[in-house]
Structures are given as structure tokens and as C-alpha cells.
Chains A and B, each alone.
Chain A
Amino acid sequence: MNGALRRHLLMGAAGLALGVTVSAAGLSDWGEVHRMFSLGLGGGAPGRESLRLLLGFGGAVLLAMAGFRLLARHDQIPVKPIRAGTISGALLFGAGWALTGACPAAALVQLGEGKAAALATLAGILAGAWLHEKARRRFHWSRHSCVD
């Protein structure tokens, strides 16, 4: 098979699988994301339902940990060291995620779900990334965003 076509099919399959998972898990649902970040402390029914996504995400990390150890132990995956913007950037992202109920993947999934308001979120995300690139060049920050 032609290399470009193969790449499109591979990336398409990955995108579709991630999109379906995010949507089916409720990671693109504002209320579900809100309950996840409430840790069962905020409003809404406490207990298992409010911890569903928390356990889901935690379990996924544990599973990924085991998977990488078993299947990719010696693989040359790019490292992610602590950098100057690690904490400040993550704090901004967390606040934005809680407000919009959308991480970057979820914003796109919401759009697919026909949630028109996600267009505003997505416009904000693109503007934010663009602004960071401008600031990075203006103030000579090093470049270290994750490639994908």
C-alpha cells in the first residue's frame, strides 16, 4: 500500500477510536467532567457515579504504565523533562479544562457531537496556541511543546 494512504488510514483509525472512546466515556460531557473534578465533594450525587471518570482515568494510566513496561520497555520514546513552563502552563490548562469541560481532544469530540458552543472553545484553544507561539518568539522561550 502507498505510504501516504497508509498513514491517513492509520491516523484516521486512531482518531476515530479516540473520538468514540472520549465521547462514550463522557469525557466530552461538561457535567461528567465537572463531577470528575469535584472528587465527589461538590454538588450532585456523591459516590461511585461521581468517581467513574476519576477511576477510569487512573485505571487507564496504570494500564498504560503496565503496557509500556511490557511492550515498549526499550523503545526510544521522546522524554518529557520538567521545564520552565511546566507548572504555570499546567495550572492554566487545568483552570481552562474545568471551565470549558474540554481538553483539546474533547473540544473536537464535542464539535462532532453537534455541540455548537464547542466552536467558541476550539477558537479559544487555537488562539491560545497561536498566542503562545508569538510570546515564545518575542521572549525567546525554548520550544518544547509535545509534537503529538
Chain B
Amino acid sequence: MTGFLPWWATALALGTLTVGYWLSVRRPLGVSGVLARFTRVGEELDFDRGVAAVNDGDQAALEEELLALTREAFGHVGDDRAEAAQAVPVAAAPGGLAPTGVMEPATPATAAGRSCAPVPPLGAHLTFLATLVAGGALVALARGSWGAGLGPDFTALVAAGPASLGVLAGGGLLVGFGTSLCGGCSAGHGLTGTGRLMPGSLLSTGAFFAAAVATTLLLAWRVG
């Protein structure tokens, strides 16, 4: 197969994107976490409203959203206002208790460097995912390859026909569960985290690469 970018252009584009994404969006580049947000839309929208309330300084709305989030996370919670009020200081920090992830410190811009931006609203992330799809469409249309299958290698080495959909769904399940469990994917761990020498990312990237190589060699060996 030809028609793909040479290695150096791939490296240049991906490397520039990784650093450029941080410098412009001021979030670490990642995809798996964004995708996972869309499996709990209600909760994430509550979170967005909570962030908006913090930004607007709307205390009543903040307590409302906080209570809703707490209920979703822990089941029934008494409608005790004092209970909600107690929890407020924790989340009052912008980007505080994100349903999607880590407790992020509220990081005011300091002389030390640029701070991390709060998680963008779900709508902005939807735009991100939609344009990711559009990018693939653009290249495929330019190549004139739109609507092709996964290719002869896949058919020969994995499965053909309806059975292949089962394999893809099962493999997708591993990707979705695995990236959620290890906290990142090829972008979040592989590019951004490894590029910053984060211990969790280095270990993750080593492990998922090793597992992928082992699985790939097993596929080739199975067919012979």
C-alpha cells in the first residue's frame, strides 16, 4: 500500500499537533476520555452546568447541580442543604471535581507557566469528535477511497463477513474498557503523556504496545 505520509511527515504532524493542542486548547490532547464522556451524557451536562454556575458565581445553581451529581454518583442523598453546602468548597474550584477524571487543582495563571484550562463543555467535545470523523472523510474523498472495507489483510488474518463485526465489537470493548482503566489512549498516554515522561504514560504505552505486538504476531501465526 502506498499513498500514506512518509514516516518523517507523520512524526512532524503528530508531534506538532500534540504540542500545539496544549498550547492552544490548554488541555492535554486525548481522545478516549472525550469519547467516554458520551457514555454518561446526563451527568456530564450536570457537570457543565456546575462549571458554568461557578463561572457565573451563581451559588444556588451550583448547589443544585452539585446535589444532582452527588445523587448520580452515590445513589440517594438526603436533600439536606447543609450537606450540599458542605460539599461546595470542594467543587467551587474551577475544574474541581470533574466527573471525567482527576481532581484538578484550580490553577491560576502564575509566573511559573500556563495553567490548565477547565474541561470544555460537552458540546465543544462533540465538535471535536465530529470534526475527527470529518477529517477522515476529507482524506478518503480526496483519495477516492471512500466506503472501502477494512481491507484484505483484515479479512485474511481476522475474519470475514458478519463474524468480523463480532470481532470488531469485542475488540472495541477491550479498547473502551482498557483505555478507561489505564486512563488514556495512544493520544493521551502515547503522545502527550510519553512526550512529558509521565510514569503512568510510559508504563501504559510500553504495556499496550507489547500487548498489540503479541496479539499481532499471534494473528499472523494462527493463519500461518
Contacts and interface: CB of A to CB of B under 8 A. Distances in A.
- The answer to whether A and B come from one shared complex is yes
Interface of A: 4, 7-8, 10-26, 28-32, 34, 37-39, 41-44, 51-53, 55-65, 67-68, 71-83, 85-105, 107-118, 120-133, 136-137, 143-148
Contacts of A117: 149-150, 164-165, 168
Given A56-B10, A104-B35, A125-B179, 16 more contacts: A19-B131, A37-B216, A52-B6, A53-B7, A53-B10, A71-B19, A86-B207, A90-B206, A104-B32, A112-B135, A124-B169, A128-B180, A129-B179, A130-B39, A131-B173, A144-B183
A106 B104 CA distance: 28
B200 A96 contact: no
A64 B18 contact: yes
Contact of B115 (A4, A76, A86): A76
A138 to B, nearest CB: 12
A86 B201 CA distance: 8
Given A105-B132, A112-B137, A147-B98, A93 B11 contact: no
Contacts, number: 541
Contacts of A131: 173, 176-177
Interface of B: 1, 4-19, 21-25, 27-36, 38-40, 73, 98-102, 104-105, 107, 112-116, 119-121, 123-125, 127-140, 145-154, 157-158, 164-201, 203-217, 219-220
Nearest to A144: B183
18 contacts: A8-B123, A14-B24, A18-B29, A25-B5, A29-B151, A37-B209, A52-B10, A53-B7, A55-B7, A65-B197, A71-B23, A86-B183, A94-B212, A100-B171, A105-B187, A108-B133, A127-B176, A145-B179
